[in-house]
Amino acid sequence: MEHDALFDPFDLDGINLDNRVGLAPMTRTSATADGRATEQMKRYYAKFARGGFSFLISEGTYPDEAYSQGYDNQPGLANESHVEAWREVTDAVHDEGAPIFAQLMHAGALSQGNRYVEETAGPSAVEPKGEQLELYGGSGEFATPEEMTKAEMDDARQGFVEAAERADDAGFDGVEIHGANGYLLDQFLTEYTNERDDEYGGSVENRIRYHTEVVEAVQDAVPEEFVVGVRISQSKVNDPDYRWSGGEDDAEVIFGALDEAGVDFIHVTEEDITEPAFDSGPTLAELADEYATVPVIANGGLGDPEAATRTVESHGADLVAQATSALANPDWPNRVAEGRAPDEFDFGEILQPDATIGDAEVPAESE
């Protein structure tokens, strides 16, 4: 199968991409204890740009010094020291010729490591399903969060805004607002974690409201050329089988609302994005493409170049983002362009016993 579709250039809201393949965000818990990006992280991200990825999305980065941090040794964009540290990373990536977006992630009720507060907070006082992720240093059940007040929601929204402004100062080309995978914004969208009886609870129109308010507030605060996207999924890190109860009707409301709020791209992710979003019918990428007008990035199960090509050619995505396949193949785009088969991802070799960046993943400056 020819893979020419993956190597067509693309204009992402004014940023010229050399191809359609980007790096997906992946939590690596390798920052300093106080949330600063490291020299190791600088070399880690630069190698993906050098390997042909046309855009990079950072790991989930916490935006404030309150409830947002999710994991120990997670990077932040919550203060000036974080900005200075990330600037080293963005400079290195730009030197290799690629743009990089900061993913802004508020963990909400899924927080399992926070140096600023002991409690967790979410839309409602509902204990999250499952157990903390050992991969990222957690163990045991999640704590039951405190229900966020309107004032705390305002503070969290402002945290996203100020973190986006810091991302601009740090040299990022844009931000991706993490609205997926069970974290705070997704907790508002999810029926069983959102028991509110105000304008943020009940109908899907209400449950997507906090997403759209965050997007609008960030867009109002950053320069016009600064890209603002959002990540959306049905599945969660603690509940992989969750699906929107309203099916395609929910998808129409969700993607339409995000589009109207002014996002510059929608990044959909599932374990296998090539599968139907529900029991049958279109994929989540195809639904995003149908109900929104902005570019769609697809992630999940696309390490096979043929699957990635089909997704761009005919299954709703303008761009694809590689995660585990990128870990196994930091030069995945270059390999595919040259006709070389990518290596298989080995979970035990790369992400065990934990997800921190290993020494083998970060080439020396001279390489």
pLDDT in tens, 100-129: 999 999 999 999 999 999 999 999 999 999
What positions carry a catalytic annotation?
183
Q: What is the pLDDT of residues 27-56, one digit of tens each?
A: 999 999 999 999 999 999 999 999 999 999
> What are the phi and psi torsion angles at 213 (to 5°)?
-65, -40
Q: 10 Å Cβ neighbour count for 300?
A: 26
What backbone phi and psi angles, to 5 degrees, belong to 206? -75, -40
Structure tokens, 108: 């909400």
For residues 82-99, give the mean pLDDT.
Answer: 98
120 to 136, 166, 195, 209: CA distances (angstroms): 17, 24, 16, 21
The whole-number pLDDT of residue 354 equals 73
Is the pLDDT at 348 greater than 70? The verdict is no
Q: Is the pLDDT of residue 367 over 50?
A: no
CA 111 to chain centre: 16
Confidence of residue 350 (pLDDT cuts 50, 70, 90): low
* CA distances for 65 relative to 69, 106, 158, 160, angstroms: 8, 11, 12, 11
- Quick: pLDDT tens for 245-261: 999 999 999 999 999 99
pLDDT (0 to 100) of residue 33: 97
Residue type, 133: L
Mean pLDDT of 66-71: 98
Looking at residue 221, its amino acid is A
Averaged pLDDT for residues 117-142? 94
Query: What's the pLDDT band for 349 if we cut at 50, 70, 90?
Result: low
Q: Which residues contact 65 (CB under 8 A, 6 or more apart)?
A: 76, 78, 79, 116
pLDDT digits (tens, 9 = 90+) for 190-237: 999 999 999 999 999 999 999 999 999 999 999 999 999 999 999 999
The tokens of 165 are what?
């402004």
In percent, the amount of the chain with pLDDT more than 70 equals: 97
Mean pLDDT score of the chain: 95
- Predicted local confidence at residue 362, as pLDDT: 77
| 3-class SS letters over 163-226 | HHHHHHHCCCCEEEEECCECCHHHHHHCHHHCCCCCCCCCCHHHHCHHHHHHHHHHHHHCCCCC
pLDDT digits (tens, 9 = 90+) for 174-188: 999 999 999 999 999
For residue 339, CA distances in Å to 3, 5, 48, 285, 309 come to 9, 14, 18, 26, 14
Entry pTM: 0.96
Residue 35, by phi and psi: left (phi above 0), alpha (psi -120 to 50) or beta? Answer: left
For residue 33 the two structure tokens come to 């204890």
Do 268 and 297 contact (CB within 8 A), yes or no? Answer: yes
Q: Residue 363 above 90 pLDDT?
A: no
Q: What is the pLDDT of residue 246?
A: 98
